[in-house]
Amino acid sequence: MPMDWEEWNKNRQKNQPRPRKPENSNGQGRPNGSDGPSGFDKLVKALKGTGSGRPPILMPLAIVILLWLASGCFTVETYECGLIKRFGQYSSRVEQGLRYHWPWPIESVIKVNFNQIRQFEVGGGSSGLDEATMLTGDENIVNIQFVVQYKVDDPNSYAFSVYDPDKTIRDAAISAMREVIGRNTIDGALTENRAKIQEDTKSTLQVMMAKYKTGLVVNNVELQDVHVPNDVMQAFKDVTSAREDRDRSVNEATGYKNSRLPEAEAKAFSLVAQAQAYKAERVNQARGDAARFLALLAEYHKAPDVTRQRLLLETMDRVLAGSDKYIMSGRTGNQVLPLLGLSQPVPNPSQPAAQGR
Look at residue 203 and tell me whether its pLDDT is greater than 90. yes
DSSP characters over 183-206: TS-HHHHHTTTHHHHHHHHHHHHH
**Per-residue model confidence (pLDDT) at position 330:** 66
**Per-residue model confidence (pLDDT) at position 26:** 47
**Per-residue model confidence (pLDDT) at position 174:** 92
Please state whether beta strands 89-94 and 97-100 pair in parallel, antiparallel, or not at all (unpaired).
unpaired
> Which residue type, as a one-letter code, is found at position 55?
P
Specify whether the CB–CB gap between 70 and 100 falls below 8 A.
no
CA dist 97 and 109 (Å) reads 14
Span 5-25, mean pLDDT? Answer: 58
Domains of the chain: 5-22+29-57 (no CATH), 71-113 (no CATH), 118-228 (3.30.479.30)
For 249, the enclosing helix (H) or strand (E) is helix 233-302
Query: pLDDT of 274-319, one tens digit each?
Result: 999 999 999 999 999 888 888 888 888 888 888 888 888 888 778 8
